[in-house]
Chains A and B, each alone.
Chain A
Amino acid sequence: MRTNKHGTADFFINVVLYAGLALFGAMTVYPFLNLFAISFNDPLDTIRGGIYLLPRIWSLDNYSIIFSNDRLLGAFLLSIARTIAGTVLGILCTAMFAYALSLKEFMLRKAFNSALVFTLYINGGLIPTYLLIKNLHLMNNFLVYLLPLLVNAFFIIIMRSYFETLPSGLTESAKIDGAGHFQTLFRILLPVSLPVLATITLFVAVTHWNSWFDNYLYASRSPHLSLLQYELMKILLSAMNQSVAQQAHIGESTVSAVTPQAIRAAMTIVVTVPILVVYPFLQNYFIQGMTVGAMKE
């Protein structure tokens, strides 16, 4: 039985809940909408400020500047190439490793499993890894973007856990029909593992698309290996140093250069939109994938 007291209390709780969540949601999404508006606004008009949700003077100038700049266009294309290559290879490797580790009869299962889990807790650290990359002659080499990320223990564990939840009858009948492990994996297991496959694909793709530190550390001297995130980061840092310089010399008339705020907004949108377009469709999958992986650990 609902008493009246609970009724009014409930009403207030609801008001607080909905208002609070709406506010937090707005706080999360607003910066992106604001950047979007600035990026489509006339760059000269932007300096006047006061652009919130919609562009004041519509213009594609910012985007045409970005895509007509050879360096930025090259970085954009390279980022796409890296993401595609890294994701395809990453998924292949994750699936094969996870499949083998999910088989009880695999002789090296225990050893490989422990070796893999260990990497979650211990790593050599920034400097030893840097020297390793240097000694392997991977500096200023496209492979430095791909090889170190090819095997990711966390993703393998998630996928392995998923494979283990599948009924064993699935693979046994294939084996009786004479299918090898490669066939079993690619023809039978992966097609029924769409949720986890979608999850890992998203994770790997996002990792590659968002990377900039490896670019900064290992390939900063090769302009042709520049990635979009790294170019954006360089623009950010120069803008920041400028405003810090301004702050340091308040009163003096220094640094008159206007920060290319509009270009920065447009680049941020270019970097962000591909992910925003993809992930809502995969949302149900990655929630499942996350939950399966985490529960089993």
Chain B
Amino acid sequence: MKTGVPPLPGKKPLRPIKPAGVFLRLMKQKELLLMTIPLMALVIVFNYMPLYGWIMAIQDYKVVKGISGSPFVGADKFVQLFQDDQFYLVLRNTLVMGFLNLISGFIGAIVLALALNEIRVKWFKRTVQTITYIPHFVSWVVIANIAHMVLSPDGGLLNVLLQKVGLLESPFYFMAKEQWFWPIHTFLSFWKEVGWSSIIYLAVLSGINPDLYEAADVDGAGRLRKIWHISIPGLMPTAIILLTLSVGWIIQSGYESQFLLGNPIVLDYSEVLDLYAMRYSFQIGDYSIGAAISIFKSFVSILMVLSINYLARRTGSGRLI
């Protein structure tokens, strides 16, 4: 860093910077320090201090003794975790739901953006956009309430509809069927976020050079060909970057939605890593397992991002991160 005070006329330039010089410059920026240091302290406390809690994973953590007083047990807790059948079930649920969300959301957002981009009637386009953003701003509590009401066997809309059409004879308990949990969860996540995720793709589409479409018109290309040969290739770079960034999040498919939509009957399909960690910690009192799960999640997450990044570089799509 060679920025700083330009040398005053008649004085020698202040290089090389001595410790005292650094201090002086810091003092000159005291307003900026005042703006940032208290906030950085909060970041350290709330984002970095929990990392210190990771030590618990190699301890037999006891609440009364704290991290400094609890005995170290090495990898025991990880061994215990990896020997638990329930852990693999929960890991499966987390990965499957994360993957389903990723793919449905990715494809859905692109299709929605492409469709909206074809709409020439301004008010229609705007209305659809405004409506599809709504669920993004609403809490999962509200979404779960809606889901529960629509899917209710007791006069819920879907049941009424299916019975009227004749597809169902008696009310169906959607929320109490294990094999229905993943589809319901995926659909709700899709429904909640697809409009919002399409914003970025719409922005990219509106940035595509209109000359390309005109040239295609001259060549006699129809709507679909223009979408296929111009719009979709135009979206690809952004789509690949966003896909890569979200791959790391597959294992973080959230816990709010599963917490609110799940129930004891569908637990084998609804429980995810965080909820499992919570149950272990609060019900069984083993906080070390909770910390071990956090470490495992971060580790997998980073591993996924790095390997996708590596693959992308190898296949020549450019360095992404």
Residues of A that sit less than 8 Å from B by CB: 1, 3, 5-6, 9-10, 13, 17-18, 20-22, 24-25, 27-29, 31-32, 34-35, 49-50, 93, 96-97, 99-101, 103-108, 112, 115-116, 119, 121-132, 135-136, 147-148, 150-151, 153, 180-182, 185, 206, 209-213, 229, 232-233, 236-237, 239-241, 243-244, 247-248, 259, 261, 264-265, 268, 271-272, 275-276, 279-280, 283, 287, 290-291, 294-295
Residues of B within 8 Å of A, CB-based: how many?
A: 97
Q: Please pick, from A28, A31, A131, A232, the residue contacting B195 in the complex, using a CB distance under 8 A.
A: A28
Give the complex CA separation of A27 and B190 in angstroms: 12
| Chain A residue, CB-CB nearest to B33 | A108
Indicate if the CB atoms of B139 and A240 lie closer than 8 Å: no
Indicate if the CB atoms of B142 and A232 lie closer than 8 Å: yes
Assuming A21-B116, A50-B155, A236-B141, is B265 touching A112 (CB within 8 A)? no
Q: Please pick, from A9, A28, A50, the residue contacting B131 in the complex, using a CB distance under 8 A.
A: A28
| Chain B residue, CB-CB nearest to A22 | B128
Give the complex CA separation of A17 and B114 in angstroms: 10
Indicate if the CB atoms of B32 and A21 lie closer than 8 Å: no
Q: 7 A-B residue contacts at CB 8 Å?
A: A28-B135, A127-B53, A210-B139, A211-B139, A243-B153, A283-B130, A291-B200
Indicate if the CB atoms of B47 and A124 lie closer than 8 Å: yes
Q: Please pick, from A10, A35, A123, the residue contacting B50 in the complex, using a CB distance under 8 A.
A: A123
Main secondary structure of the interface of A (DSSP, over half): helix
B274 on the A face (CB < 8 A): yes
B269 on the A face (CB < 8 A): no
Indicate if the CB atoms of B149 and A265 lie closer than 8 Å: yes
Give the complex CA separation of A272 and B54 in angstroms: 38
Q: Please pick, from B176, B222, B274, the residue contacting A126 in the complex, using a CB distance under 8 A.
A: B274
Query: Which of B82-90, B94-102, B289-297 touches A?
Result: B289-297
Could you tell me the distance in whole angstroms from the C-beta of B1 to the nearest C-beta in chain A?
Answer: 8
Indicate if the CB atoms of B265 and A244 lie closer than 8 Å: yes
Could you tell me the distance in whole angstroms from the C-beta of A190 to the nearest C-beta in chain B?
Answer: 13
Q: Supply 12 further A-B pairs (C-beta < 8 A) apart from A112-B40, A233-B141.
A: A25-B128, A27-B191, A31-B157, A107-B26, A108-B33, A122-B302, A123-B47, A124-B50, A124-B294, A126-B255, A127-B56, A232-B141
Give the complex CA separation of A108 and B140 in angstroms: 38
Q: Please pick, from A18, A28, A259, A261, the residue contacting B124 in the complex, using a CB distance under 8 A.
A: A18
